[in-house]
Structure 1
């Protein structure tokens, strides 16, 4: 009889544990599907669409060349003519154009102006187009970079990988603060988020400066952008934890990995991506960080104010969400509090169960965050 009872109990426990594991396996499955859709959708086949390029000149030759390239591009290029080199250079530096072609003539080699600091992949796409244009006239193409990258970041993608490091440090901290710190008042968790964002941003500045030399000046501004970016993620994540619980890791991954990395412009700018990611680029926080760093370090602060505004609005959204979460928790605690506890033992057992659930929740969230 005792053996039979043990078998029933063990079978019941196994079934419950299996249901528990299968339920939690849904999270990595959704992560797999989400990452595949986001990354392959954004990066698998980059093609230019309405990529602005300029032909320098105002005569009939420039007009004919511009129209010819426009027709051959079939929507890939948006070809304009500009009167002189200075105008073309200014357009490159303010990111309204990504290449400027000066047609060759007797005694003059065709020249292409690019600004690799705005996007190295866009510069390469433009160079490919005009190398073919110059080859049709049997002439080599001279390429001049009017906004070169730092020596420590020759591909221009170091800022993107810095974004990845900042993001992982921030959203992984959410699992710890939201899980292990669930018993703490919301104001303390918010302070922990602010403190951790400072630490993460300082680590990012160390990566960008003395360790890997991604930038050769403007390190203080890069640190400030890093702090704004990290603080926004941490506060949003801590606030979301009140509502999403164990789904918080998936939620912050959707916001700050799947949609964020793919729309940041760190690998391909919107002109080389599907329209959905190009639309996100205009207001998502990763794009605000990447384009803010580019503008601050390489483009004399161009468009820096707008990108600072984007990051500040995300930070304010995090503060608002954290305040709302604090009020929600206070209301839940008030509703759950017994009017008059009569026995101490059930209260202690309830507290122990609550702590155990919090510990288990924290371990599961950390496994999901670290596993990704």
Structure 2
């Protein structure tokens, strides 16, 4: 009789395959003509939008993807047929084919940066075949859990129906699959900002790691199968032959595996590195590579894009100056009019614009009003763009708000925010490591959140003391820095606890991915957001890191202007973490199976 593998292995496998599916779909949509290769529903809906530009190419791509997806599902399902239990060897073989197909997509993408119709359809077919094969393998592995890894609608429907029926079975796996699908698309999007070929590479890496999480064999819980028992000699001569004939590993069949040096090494290796430890090490490797890609992708080539600049010029020249700034190749600047010098100064100091250009008549030097406390590298980029646009025109820089003397290059808000966020998610991880990721009941969850709230207040207080009273880097705003710091720490702590309640130990890895791998380089600390590539520039304001940097910097230097969105972002992360943790704890408590009644003697 075959026993099902541990739920942890299936949860990890489903999460990793969902991550790979999100990456594959993101690549196909962005690079292959706006067609999904995993979400067939989306491609069919897009095919009905007849008013879209390039409608014929879209329909051809959607039809190719659909045909390849269905054919791959059929072939993979035949290769791993349905049985009384999952056939892990065949499922593993299908996933190996998925990795090969993803690598084929990478190779095809490398052939030409602007593929023709035939090459694009071939790449689409390979990507859709990978997603179809993965879908079939995942369904065979998941059994009746209702978890799918290439589209979330079915998974979320099963989750909602089970909740209505009062069942929490497979809830964590389903939530994890949905979250990882999103993160796969997010990671691939960031990777493709560096190189489009990294999209299928991320998908292949996710599937390859999922391969290692699959069970090697089904464990038996019943009596041993007589057909599988070792062959016994039927005569003395046959027994002698078996004893003398070495096996494939060089030992005699009669000797114990541990009696050979190779057998002893294998036994020691299994004891030293368990499958769970190997899986954790691979996860660390994936996070490490993601860290390298994210930081180098964000910082390797800072390029200004549409930096807002107010323009003060004579009425007759103002429109022409703005058009000239907006027409610079690459669109590094976005000019907008200002009525006078006073309004321009206000716009700079209230963070409505990053700088103001005061155009002088009669060929005299123009003035550029800046506030380098918002990022000295941004000021340098502005100066360089304007001088390259018109080298003959002299330019004089006036810094309205430089960083404090003890703040150096204006990085104190960034480093303070990094410390507060790291402290928050590490605090939630420490609580989970000590008492378990999933509290026994909602009351204990609230107690944990209360403890994290107290810690957050102390964290904000400590940060304010360090940057204000100890180093004098951000003086004069002690109370504001304290409460911004407290909210930052609690937002990271509450979100980290929610991840761990929903995903178990994998929630810690998710916290590292969001707050460290993605959050720090997109926060606008080392370089202002206007110098970052589009992926990090758009992502930063939505994460606690970027929101915290904005609040700390703008309260310390700019009177708290232009901070409403940042307050909402931090508050949403904090409230969302509390709500998700409380609901998950209550759901688990409400549907826990009753304990068996104690036996009573007569």
Q: Same fold (TM over 0.5)?
A: yes
Indicate which of 564, 572, 577 corresponds to 1:318. Answer: 577
Distance 1:85 1:207 in 2: 37
Indicate conservation of the 8 Å contact 1:239/1:324, yes or no: no
Instruction: Note if 1:129 corresponds to 2:388.
Output: no
Look up the SS of the partner of 2:542 in the other structure.
coil
Distance 1:199 1:82 in 2: 44
Look up the SS of the partner of 2:432 in the other structure.
helix
Cα distance, 1:108 vs. partner? 4.8
Cα distance, 1:109 vs. partner? 3.7
Indicate which of 278, 282, 286 corresponds to 1:22. Answer: 278
Match of 2:428 in 1: 174
Match of 1:219 in 2: 478
1:167-211 per-residue CA deviation (whole Å, 9 max, x = no partner) reads 221222122101102277323322222222223222211221122
Instruction: Note if 1:267 corresponds to 2:522.
Output: no
Indicate conservation of the 8 Å contact 2:460/2:481, yes or no: no
Look up the SS of the partner of 2:372 in the other structure.
coil
TM-score by length of 2: 0.52
Match of 1:252 in 2: 511
Indicate conservation of the 8 Å contact 2:304/2:532, yes or no: yes
Distance 2:290 2:363 in 1: 55
Distance 1:342 1:115 in 2: 76
Matches within 5 A, 1:7-46: 11-12=266-267, 14-15=269-270, 17-18=272-273, 19-46=275-302
Distance 1:4 1:74 in 2: 71
Indicate conservation of the 8 Å contact 1:194/1:231, yes or no: yes
Distance 1:175 1:293 in 2: 25
Instruction: Note if 1:197 corresponds to 2:456.
Output: yes
Distance 1:304 1:79 in 2: 22
Matches within 5 A, 1:1-372: 11-12=266-267, 14-15=269-270, 17-18=272-273, 19-105=275-361, 108-132=364-388, 135-137=391-393, 139=394, 141-182=395-436, 185-331=444-590, 334-335=592-593, 338-341=595-598
1:244-273 per-residue CA deviation (whole Å, 9 max, x = no partner) reads 222122110122122221222222233222
Look up the SS of the partner of 2:301 in the other structure.
coil
Cα distance, 1:107 vs. partner? 9.2
Look up the SS of the partner of 1:261 in the other structure.
coil
Indicate conservation of the 8 Å contact 1:58/1:83, yes or no: no
- Residue-pair matches, total: 337
Distance 2:346 2:329 in 1: 24
1:334-364 per-residue CA deviation (whole Å, 9 max, x = no partner) reads 32x5313569xxxxxxxxxxxxxxxxxxxxx
Distance 1:309 1:192 in 2: 23
Distance 1:316 1:305 in 2: 16
Indicate conservation of the 8 Å contact 1:110/1:134, yes or no: no
Indicate conservation of the 8 Å contact 2:306/2:333, yes or no: yes
Cα distance, 1:105 vs. partner? 4.6
Indicate conservation of the 8 Å contact 2:356/2:369, yes or no: yes
Distance 1:212 1:131 in 2: 37
1:322-345 per-residue CA deviation (whole Å, 9 max, x = no partner) reads 20232244246x32x5313569xx
Look up the SS of the partner of 1:53 in the other structure.
strand
Distance 1:296 1:177 in 2: 32
Residues 323 and 103 of structure 1, relative CA distance in 2, 3 Å threshold: same
TM-score by length of 1: 0.81
Indicate conservation of the 8 Å contact 2:522/2:540, yes or no: yes
Look up the SS of the partner of 2:406 in the other structure.
coil
1:100-127 per-residue CA deviation (whole Å, 9 max, x = no partner) reads 2223455954321101233332222112
Residues 9 and 320 of structure 1, relative CA distance in 2, 3 Å threshold: farther
Residues 29 and 103 of structure 1, relative CA distance in 2, 3 Å threshold: same
Match of 2:122 in 1: none
Distance 2:407 2:495 in 1: 31
Indicate conservation of the 8 Å contact 2:417/2:488, yes or no: no
